[in-house]
Amino acid sequence: MQRTFTLRRERAGGWGLGLRRGEFESRVAVINFVEHATPFAPVRSGRGAGTLHPQVATACGDLLSDYRTVWYDLRMPTDLSQRAERHLWMHFTRLAGFADHEVPVIARGEGCYVWDQHGNRYLDGLSGLFTVQVGHGRTELGEAAAKQSATLGYFPTWGFAHEPAIELATRLAALAPGDLNRVFLTPSGGDAVETAIKLSRQYWKLRGQPQRTKLISRYLAYHGTSLGALSLTGVPSIKTPFEPLVPGAIKVQTPYRYRCHDCGHLDACTLRCADDLELRLQMEGPDTVAAVFMEPLQNTGGALAPPAGYWQRVREICDRYDVLLVSDEVIAAFGRLGHMFGSERYGYQPDMIVFAKGVTSGYAPLGGLMISDRIAEPFLGDTAVFMQGQTFGAHPVSCAVANANLDIFEREDICGHVRANEGMLNSMLQSLRDIPLVGDVRGEGYFYAIELVTDQTTKGTFDDDTAEWLLRGYLSPRLYAAGLICRADDRAEPVITLSPPLIAGEREFEFITSTLRTVLTDASHALAARRG
C-alpha cells in the first residue's frame, strides 16, 4: 500500500507530517523526537520512497500502521530561509507569520515562471508585483546592465546628463500622449508620486497662486508609502499607523460599480462617481486645489475599471476649475492594459503621468514623471529651479535596462500581444462565476480581480475573522501549494488579484483558471462547513 506524505523539519527538532490528497495537503501530526533522529536516511530535501524511522511510525500510531513504505515529499528548511526569518525585514509582512512554515525563497525565474529554493515551480500570476512585463530570465536586460556598469556605473543628473537618461527621456516623450515632453526620472514609483506632489505645488506658486496646495485622490486608492504619497492613499489600514499625515489630502468616490449605492442597481453608470469630484472641488474651493491624482484602472479594491465616459467627465471638471490632472500609471503603464500608457486606453489627456515598475520590467529600480510643456513653462525662467532630486534618480544602469526593455516591447509587440489575448483571459476568468464564493470578476488587459462574497445574491461581505481565515488561512497557502502566485487581498472587500507577465498566453491562462476553480470550489465548501 502507498500513500504520499509531506514532512517538514520543525523548529524544535521534530517533523511536521502532512497527508497529501492530490495537489493539497492536510496537517495531520507533528512528531517530536530525538534531535538527530530522522524519518529517512539520508535526510535531504526531495521526493521519493523510503522506510519510516521506527520512532516516526510509533509517534503516528494507527495512521501509518499499514504503511511500512511511503512515498514522501521531504522539505528541509534551508539556511536561506532561516537567515531570512532572522535578519530580513520583509515588506508588508507579518514577522510572526512563519511560526509553522519556512520563509519561501524564490531562487530563479524564466518566462512566466519562478522556482523556489526546493526546485518547485510556480506560475508568477502577479508579475512579481505588477512589474515583470516581459517575463523572467531575459538575458538581454542583464547584459544591458553589465555593459552600462562597465561604461559608466553611476553619475547624477544634478546639472549633468548621461546618454542612457537622454535616450530614455527622448523615447518616452515620443511614446507619451499629447505634449508630455519632459521626463523627470526617479528611483521608484513612490518617489515619482512624491515628485508630482511637489511639482504641482511649486507650479502654482510660480503661477502666482500659492494658495493652491490641496490634493484630491480617490477612496481606497494606493499611491505609495512616503508621507506625501501616503496622504493621497485612501486605504485606512495603511495610513492609520503613521497619522497625522500631510494636511489637505481630500478623497472622492471610487468607480466601484459592483457595490455602488448610486447606480449599482441600474442598467448603466450615472457617473455620480465622477461628479463627486466637482462637488468636492466646490466644497473645498477650487482655487485651493493644486491637482487630482487618479489611476486609469484602480488597483486597491480589485481592478476597478472606469465606466464609459468617466475619464472624459473628470478631464472636463479639471479643465473647468483649472486643476492639474495626474495619472498614476505606476501599474497601468507599459502594456498592462494593452497600451504603453493606461490613459491611452481610456482616451484622456493627463497633465502628468507617474510611471515605474514596467519601464524596466523590474530588472532595475526606476520610476519617473511625464510632464506637459504647459507645466514646464514657468520653470524656464532664468532663475527658476524645481527643488527636487534624488541620488539614484535617472541612474545610468537603470536607464540602460529601461531602453533595452523598450527594445523588447517594440521587437515583440508586447502591447499588441496583450490586446490580442486579453479577451481569452477575460473569458476564462468569467467562467468562474458559477463558484458560490465568486461575486464579481472584473478588469481589463492583463489586470484582473475576483471579488469574493458569502452570498452571490446579496453580495454578502465577510467579518474580519472569516476574511482572515479565508485569505490567509485557506486560500493563500493552497494557491501557493498548487503552484500559483497571486494576491489574496482584503484592504477593501476580499479579492484575488491577477496580473501575469505580458508574454502569457493560453497555456498560462488555462493553468490559472483551473487552479482557481479547484481552490475556490474547495474554499466554498470549507466556508459552508465553517458556517454550519
pLDDT at 15: 46
Characterise 467 by phi-psi region: left (phi > 0), alpha (psi -120 to 50), beta (else): alpha
pLDDT range class, residue 60, cuts 50, 70, 90: low
Residue 106 phi, psi dihedral angles, 5° rounding: -90, 125
pLDDT at 58: 53
pLDDT tens figures, 29-55 = 433 333 333 444 333 344 444 445 555
Average pLDDT over residues 152-175: 97
Q: Which residues contact 377 (CB under 8 A, 6 or more apart)?
A: none
pLDDT at 261: 81
Q: Does the pLDDT of residue 241 top 50, yes or no?
A: yes
Report whether 200 contacts 215 (CB < 8 A).
yes
Average pLDDT over the chain, rounded to whole? 87
Report whether 92 contacts 102 (CB < 8 A).
no
Report whether 231 contacts 249 (CB < 8 A).
yes
Average pLDDT over residues 392-419: 98
pLDDT tens figures, 181-201 = 999 999 999 999 999 999 999
Alpha carbons within 13 A on the beta-carbon side of 23 = 16
Q: Does residue 436 have a cis peptide bond before it, meaning omega lies within 30 degrees of 0?
A: no
User: In degrees, to the nearest 5, what angle opens at C-alpha 466 toward C-alphas 461 and 471?
Assistant: 95
The residue with cell 457617473 is 271
* CA–CA distance, 470 with 464 (Å, rounded to integer): 10
3-state SS class at 488: strand
pLDDT at 83: 86
Report whether 221 contacts 254 (CB < 8 A).
yes
The residue with cell 515619482 is 192
Alpha carbons within 13 A on the beta-carbon side of 358 = 33
pLDDT tens figures, 439-454 = 999 999 999 999 999 9
Report whether 214 contacts 376 (CB < 8 A).
no
Q: Does the pLDDT of residue 14 top 50, yes or no?
A: no
* CA–CA distance, 355 with 187 (Å, rounded to integer): 11
pLDDT range class, residue 77, cuts 50, 70, 90: low
pLDDT tens figures, 285-329 = 999 999 999 999 999 999 999 999 999 999 999 999 999 999 999
Rounded (10°) angle between helices 414-430 and 506-531: 30
